[in-house]
């Protein structure tokens, strides 16, 4: 399996997805987070950070600083491309250094800098489906993360709304 859809019925089930991703994805994984404002990208990032040992309250959308590093049991590098003018501006941040590290790299608004992402990454597209419900389409881009995505899907089992 290289993709699955996860239906979240609220923040706790979104957190469940984030924990599973953080615990199953190998070091050096880049996660491209896509979706509209309010779709759950930052909440998912908070859950992933918490699973890495970071206090989730410390994790906010890094829109104004563009990249925020967190170091705990596992390092997490949280990028936000919302205010990035173009891919050259994103590349000036030196993302490759972080992408090749032993932590996880999360890129919110990744569709704005798609050409800067490594060929092998995980894409998560978040969609609002109700007041508190969200749909997350999780996909391994390239073959490297296929087994991890399969493990996440098995671990989560049927979505709360499926």
- Give the pLDDT confidence score for residue 23 in this predicted structure: 95
CA distance 114 to 102: 22
Q: What is the DSSP string of 46-63?
A: HHHHHHTT--GGG----T
Number of H helices, E strands in the chain: 5, 7
The widest CA-to-CA distance across the chain, in whole angstroms, is 42
For residue range 113-162, list pLDDT tens digits in order: 999 999 999 999 999 999 999 999 999 999 899 999 999 999 998 654 44
Taking phi over 0 as left and psi of -120 to 50 as alpha, with beta for the rest, 58 belongs to alpha
pTM: 0.92
Burial of 65 (0-12, 13-18, 19+ CB in 10 A): exposed
- Residue 56 to residue 98: CA distance in whole angstroms: 20
Angle at 118 between CA 28 and CA 76, to 5 degrees: 35
Q: Is the pLDDT of residue 45 over 90?
A: yes
- How do residues 65-117 score in pLDDT, each as one tens digit? 688 999 999 999 999 999 888 999 999 989 999 999 999 999 999 999 999 99
The pLDDT assigned to 62 comes to: 58
Give the closest residue to 54 by CA, choosing from 72, 33, 32, 67: 72
Query: CATH fold of 3-156, please?
Result: Rossmann fold (3.40.50)
SS3 state of residue 16: helix
């Amino acid at each position: 399996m290289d993709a699955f859809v996860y239906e979240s019925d609220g923040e706790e089930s979104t957190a469940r997805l984030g924990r599973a991703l953080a615990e199953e994805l190998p070091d050096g994984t880049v996660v491209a987070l896509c979706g509209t404002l309010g779709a759950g990208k930052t909440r998912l990032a908070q859950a992933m950070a918490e699973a890495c040992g970071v206090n989730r309250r410390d994790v906010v959308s890094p829109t104004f600083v563009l990249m925020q590093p967190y170091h705990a049991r596992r390092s997490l590098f949280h990028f936000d491309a919302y205010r990035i003018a173009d891919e050259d501006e994103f590349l000036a941040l030196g993302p490759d250094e972080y992408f090749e590290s032993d932590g996880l790299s999360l890129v919110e608004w990744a569709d704005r800098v798609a050409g800067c992402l490594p060929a092998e990454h995980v894409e998560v597209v978040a969609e609002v489906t109700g007041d508190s419900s969200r749909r997350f389409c999780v996909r391994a881009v390239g073959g490297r993360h296929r087994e991890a995505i399969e493990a996440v899907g098995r671990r989560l089992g049927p979505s709360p709304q499926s």
